[in-house]
Chain A
């Protein structure tokens, strides 16, 4: 069963442990800039928004990659980079509609979520279960579409919670990242 990382902003405390776990797991050092997952803190709205590759079904990064270095992992469905042929041109970064890819300036390679071969570290380290690894919704919607829709739903839910207790019941859906 294909799974996606799902994120619920209303549970995220913004502690950043996921970022550290991610960077430590992939790069053996604790560095926010080397993390594949990023928490965007919208201070004026009181929301913590996660950002990582959605592994889009019809992934724009795969299409623009001039060396076809981005391939889909047949096991996890993740879009992963073959670092041996990546030339560091950043075309994928330019194409990603989420701005979810970062660049490792030292090694001149793109860095992106690889779903940790199906056992994501960020999920393991999240204390509040704001990040979960769940089965992809089987409604035929592309990964990217479901990410956007769910983000909005979850933000609405989080907003409601802040505003009044009454709206708390509103659909607090998970968000696929």
Chain B
């Protein structure tokens, strides 16, 4: 049932907040929908920021919405306002001496980069990679040598972008391999080689201890060496923005993200949460984790937005996947990345001239896949992982022809 004439307030102008607002608007033409965000821009995608940094796109194509689009969708957008408190009994959000009443509230506050607690971490020349302001800051700062701390997706894409901008680039990773969340050691080694071929210096198993410089960055000091540089990018992970939620008694999970049920409801009635600020369930292990990905945020926003209007919709666990292009080579990873020495997994590896792939099995069911070179088929794995298909189900011999579906048929040729 749709309850009309509601006041829906959404905190955060990222994809989660916008998809919540747009979904609510599509269902309920009457509701008063307001997005409040400390952002000073209309909606844009952080995923394209590395391309913006590299200069491949400019600020004419950076934004996904213009201010007029909010008007057209009849969504109020209060820009540049940080919500400082929520009165959950009066149902009121508080910002800059203002208060605004809500009937339904959506927390879509996203995440922020982790600032390593080391000496010199606030010196001019130290940047993060999350917002348009960050990128403009790097572009205006200039310099010749850049050190990137952390080799997740953001760090790697940042390294490629800075290389394309003409910087000499160092990538430093504490663990024994790059992209440790998404690739196992042999695959990560190949990715490292792709980067090294383009003259990016990749240092693994190395700890950044401090940053030196007087009034701007001069060098990075690790446990193994000193690297002189102009720019440092901290890309050692993201943390959900939950201070506000925590302050008003919204329950936070052990992962650090807001706890929500399948309707994206928090423990406080009429408050929903979605996007990078929540933790979500892992389809394979049924454990909770942070999946700070665009697709998750978009989908969760839709669910929260729909439920706000009274139209019940459930969120189903998604399978995390990442993909990107490193110069000319595409890479992609989906599901679980097994460690080589973990006996509970079995790996099927294959390699050709221009590709390599690893499929991860647990109890003979597919739980993950990693690909370098040819990545077209990685999507097939999402169906297989979701449906917990056993590997024997597509061995030709034990294959019941009448049971085949096109996805399985294609897979038979991949494994």
Question: Contact residues of A with B, CB < 8 Å?
Answer: 40, 42, 44-45, 47, 49, 51, 60, 63-64, 66-68, 84-85, 87-91, 93-99, 101-103, 148, 151-152, 155-156, 159
Evaluate contact between A155 and B57: CB separation under 8 angstroms.
Answer: no
Evaluate contact between B378 and A84: CB separation under 8 angstroms.
Answer: no
Evaluate contact between A97 and B51: CB separation under 8 angstroms.
Answer: no
For the complex formed, measure the closest distance between the CB of A142 and the CB atoms of chain B, giving whole angstroms.
14
Residues of A close to B286: CB separation below 8 A: none
Describe A's contact surface by its main secondary structure: mixed
Which of A40, A89, A96, A99 is the one whose CB lies under 8 Å from B325? A89
Q: List 21 A-B contacts (CB under 8 A).
A: A40-B406, A44-B396, A49-B406, A64-B295, A64-B298, A68-B45, A89-B324, A89-B325, A90-B332, A93-B375, A94-B332, A94-B375, A94-B378, A95-B382, A97-B380, A97-B383, A103-B376, A148-B405, A152-B404, A155-B402, A155-B405
Given A66-B47, A84-B61, A151-B406, are A93 and B378 also a contact pair (CB < 8 Å)?
yes
Given A44-B396, A89-B325, A98-B379, are A67 and B406 also a contact pair (CB < 8 Å)?
no
> Cβ of B407 < 8 Å from any Cβ of A?
yes
A45 to B48, CA, bound (A): 44
Chain B stretch 263-314: residues in CB contact (< 8 A) with chain A? 294-295, 298-299
Residues of B close to A155: CB separation below 8 A: 401-402, 404-405
Evaluate contact between B298 and A91: CB separation under 8 angstroms.
Answer: no
> Cβ of B56 < 8 Å from any Cβ of A?
yes
**Chain B window 44-85, contacts with chain A (Cβ cutoff 8 Å), 1 for yes, 0 for no:** 011110010000110001001000000000000000000000
A148 to B407, CA, bound (A): 9
Interface centre among A51, A64, A88, A101 (most CB of B within 10 A): A64
> Cβ of B188 < 8 Å from any Cβ of A?
no
A142 to B18, CA, bound (A): 25
For the complex formed, measure the closest distance between the CB of A40 and the CB atoms of chain B, giving whole angstroms.
6
Evaluate contact between B379 and A159: CB separation under 8 angstroms.
Answer: no
Q: Which residue of B lies closest to A84 (CB)?
A: B61
Evaluate contact between B409 and A40: CB separation under 8 angstroms.
Answer: yes
Residues of B close to A99: CB separation below 8 A: 376-380, 407, 410
Evaluate contact between A152 and B380: CB separation under 8 angstroms.
Answer: no
> Cβ of B156 < 8 Å from any Cβ of A?
no
Q: Which 8 A-B pairs have the closest CB atoms?
A: A66-B47, A64-B295, A96-B379, A94-B323, A97-B383, A66-B45, A99-B377, A66-B294
A68 to B47, CA, bound (A): 11
A87 to B378, CA, bound (A): 19
> Cβ of B171 < 8 Å from any Cβ of A?
no
Evaluate contact between B379 and A95: CB separation under 8 angstroms.
Answer: yes
A99 to B61, CA, bound (A): 28
Q: Which residue of B lies closest to A160 (CB)?
A: B402
Which of B48, B380, B396 is the one whose CB lies under 8 Å from A87? B48
> Cβ of B330 < 8 Å from any Cβ of A?
yes
Residues of B close to A40: CB separation below 8 A: 406, 409-410
A102 to B377, CA, bound (A): 9
Evaluate contact between B377 and A67: CB separation under 8 angstroms.
Answer: no
Residues of A close to B8: CB separation below 8 A: none
Residues of A close to B45: CB separation below 8 A: 66-68
A80 to B404, CA, bound (A): 29
Evaluate contact between B323 and A93: CB separation under 8 angstroms.
Answer: yes
For the complex formed, measure the closest distance between the CB of B80 and the CB atoms of chain A, giving whole angstroms.
23
Given A64-B298, A87-B48, A87-B57, are A93 and B402 also a contact pair (CB < 8 Å)?
no
